Amino acid sequence: MTEEAAAPLWEVFIRSKRGLSHNHVGSLHAPDAEMALRNARDVYTRRMEGVSIWVVPSATITASSPDEKDSFFDPAADKPYRHPTFYSIPKEVQQL
Amino acid sequence: MVAGAAAVSTLRIADDCLVLSHRLAQWSSWAPTLEDDIALTNIALDLLGQARAMYARTAELDGTGRSEDDYAFMRDERAFVNCLLVEQENGDFATTILRQLLCSTYQLAQWQALTTSTDGQVAAIAAKAVKETEYHRDHATDWTLRLGDGTDESHQRMESALAALWPFTAELFESDDVSRDAAGLGVGPDPEDLRAAWDAYITRVLDDATLVVPKVSWKPTGGRQGLHTEAFGYMLAEMQHLHRSFPGVTW
Amino acid sequence: MRSNGPIERDLAGSAVSGGDAGGAVGDAREAEFQALIEADQRIEPRDWMPDAYRKTLIRQIAQHAHSEIIGMQPEGNWITRAPSLRRKAILMAKVQDEAGHGLYLYCAAETLGVDRSELIDLLHQGRQKYSSIFNYPTLTYADVGAIGWLVDGAAITNQIPLCRCSFGPYARAMVRVCKEESFHQRQGFELLYALSHGTPEQHEMAQDAVNRWWWPSLEMLGPPDTESTHSAQSMAWGIKRFSNDELRQRFVDMVAPQAVVLDLVPPDPALRWNEERGHYDFGPCDFEELRRVVSGDGPCNRQRAAHHLKAHEDGAWVRAAAAAYAAKHAASAAA
């Protein structure tokens, strides 16, 4: 067995404090999920960086392809009406 | 009543932590993976912090006002009162992991008991140490399962480690006048009382790891009275030489 | 269409990697890549990139990662002899950080389609290098201070611009590294300061360490611009932001006034402030020595390599056991 197959890559996500979402912080190698979690704790939270950790096998992530970024993401570009700044509001309305 | 029983009992804990921390620190840059290098150092740093806190408390209890460095660097072997198990050499990764399992399970039970110490400062140190030591035990447990139930070679190495280290576990639970007096004062637990919880946990983990406790008649002891194994002298010589070469200076 | 596969990874040969796309499609991709670089945007692992860019990055990031890992040895040499418990804790935490930094960097390299184990094999075969500086011995405890002040100082000079490197994962790893490194140089300075303001023997120990580490620290920033083979292309690609000589000047400008505060004298009679240039002048580095050390004939090259190889080989059975256990339990979970 190659070392890579023996200890595959895991992606690590950390919630830095309650109320925030988990953010991707990096990756590491581990033979199984338990070790991945333990390693993530040691490697990525030495300075109190987190209150919760997710580990995900890198191979199980399905990602959008950069080649299709036009068809994937450009359609959102011509829909400014999704953003609040699209709408003009009379000055006398202070908060909306 | 033994004079200064409370101080001797805190010193024993401090010495256990310092010596075990030093042994683990010797792994730096030698671990099987980078991830484990980081993990072992984390544990070593926790233990060093626990040792420093307990030396500070000991200095108050024994009234000498010594500094943590006086305790660590200016005492000779005969004055160290750590148990023999913590000073055993690292050997291979299996030996270190097994030593960690045996020590951290003991230390966790000890710190848990100390959280209700009548000595408020000791209780506060213990409250923090419990959390750290729970992690140390988890770490050692995980690895014990993997090595015991991994490959033939890793199983073999764990069995050898058990044969080498098991005899030293008897000493952990010995009571003497100091420990009984300290327990009487409510400062700390009598080691004898930690045995049941330790046995239950260790038996279960070793069983899960497909490992069998060896039958041994040899029960070395003496650490609590300053009678150590030969390897300990070399460890201290290395640890203390620089500090002692420049007496009284600030680093 | 979506592509399955490791996040931020595309093994060479898949559709989006490999520089030689050929024809009009290739030109368009090359142009898009160049436009991103020129707009100071980051390149991400799944973007198309020229093969040479990928290779350069793998070489550089791996070399950087190896340096962190081999760099654990010279300082780790003093962990068991640190003269106070406070210094012992600091040194352990620092050496541990180096392991962490090596790990972040190996992960950044892995986004380019290589495995850490391959990179470690290349290190063992001598086909990838690490920083020349770690081939010098740490002979006294003051060397720990000199490494923190000078070596980490030089490293930070080099690393801060790398936080803006054009390759996203490398830049992000460097942000993390730089954040954590901020205590490394300070602890070195503090240690040297304590020694140089201690007893005469301690002062002498500190001065001796600075004498030995000064020139290697200047040299570790690389050969002079006139001889640097990779610099021009790396600058054009936004991998490198400043030339070796610029970094060296920046480093000397930073540490020369600090030496005065430390009451230690750098071993360079030519070192003096040049009002006209607004920089410190300094004497010539011995780049012949740098070449010798890089090519394998430094005082500790063989020792460092043998140490790393032994640790790796001694750990093989542990890694095999962990993998066997995982496989066994994955199988029983599936059953």
pLDDT band at A4 (very low <50, low <70, confident <90, very high): low
- Report the gap between the CA of A14 and the closest CA in chain C (Å): 14
Q: What is the pLDDT of residues C247-275, one digit of tens each?
A: 999 999 999 999 999 999 999 999 999 99
pLDDT band at B2 (very low <50, low <70, confident <90, very high): confident
Q: What is the pLDDT of residues C276-328, one digit of tens each?
A: 999 999 999 999 999 999 999 999 999 999 999 999 999 999 999 999 999 99
Q: If you average pLDDT over every residue of chain B, what do you get?
A: 97
pTM of the predicted protein model? 0.92
pLDDT band at C4 (very low <50, low <70, confident <90, very high): very low
* B28 neighbors B37 (Cβ within 8 angstroms): yes
Q: What whole-number distance in Å separates Cα of residue C316 and Cα of residue B19?
A: 27
Residue located via tokens 């953010």: A23
* C99 neighbors C69 (Cβ within 8 angstroms): yes
Distances (CA, A) of C168 to C116, C171, C175, C287: 19, 5, 11, 32
Residue contact A31–C325, C-beta within 8 A: yes
Q: What is the pLDDT of residues B70-91, one digit of tens each?
A: 999 999 999 999 999 999 999 9
Give the per-residue pLDDT at C11.
37
Contacts of C316 in chain B (CB under 8 A): 32
Residue located via tokens 């035990």: B137
* B146 neighbors C321 (Cβ within 8 angstroms): yes
Give the per-residue pLDDT at A3.
61
Shortest CB distance from C84 goes to which of B33, B69, B154?
Answer: B69
* C267 neighbors C214 (Cβ within 8 angstroms): yes
Nearest alpha carbon to residue B106 among B171, B44, B54: B171
Nearest alpha carbon to residue B36 among A52, C319, C112: C319
* C248 neighbors C255 (Cβ within 8 angstroms): no
Least confident of B96-105, C95-104, C180-189: C180-189
Give the per-residue pLDDT at A46.
85
Q: What whole-number distance in Å separates Cα of residue B92 and Cα of residue C16?
A: 45
Instruction: Provide the b/e sequence for B71-93 (b: ≥16 CB within 10 Å).
Output: bbbebebeebbbbbbbbbeeebb
pLDDT band at C18 (very low <50, low <70, confident <90, very high): very low
Give the per-residue pLDDT at A2.
62
Residue contact B238–C202, C-beta within 8 A: no
Residue contact C96–A64, C-beta within 8 A: no
Residue B154: is it exposed, middle or buried by C-beta count within 10 angstroms (0-12/13-18/19+)?
A: buried
Quickly list H helices, C163-275: 168-196, 200-219, 231-236, 244-262
**What number is the ipTM of this complex?**
0.96
Nearest alpha carbon to residue C97 among C157, C163, C170, C179: C179
Shortest CB distance from C322 goes to which of A28, A35, A59?
Answer: A35
pLDDT at position B230 over 80: yes
pLDDT at position A90 over 90: no
DSSP annotation string for C65-131: HHHHHHTHHHHHTTGGG-SSHHHHHHHHHHHHHHHHHHHHHHHHHHTTT--HHHHHHHHHTTSS---
Other residues' Cβ atoms within 10 Å of the Cβ of residue C194: 17
Segment C188-211 shows an average pLDDT of 97
Segment B24-31 shows an average pLDDT of 98
Under CATH, to which class is B2-245 assigned?
mainly alpha
Q: What whole-number distance in Å separates Cα of residue C117 and Cα of residue C313?
A: 12
Type and span of the H or E element at A15: strand A9-15
Is some CB atom of chain A closer than 8 A to the CB atom of C116? Answer: yes
Is some CB atom of chain A closer than 8 A to the CB atom of B208? Answer: no
User: What 3-state class would DSSP assign to A74?
Assistant: helix
Residue contact A65–C47, C-beta within 8 A: no
Shortest CB distance from A42 goes to which of B38, B142, B146?
Answer: B38
pLDDT at position B12 over 50: yes
* B150 neighbors C321 (Cβ within 8 angstroms): yes
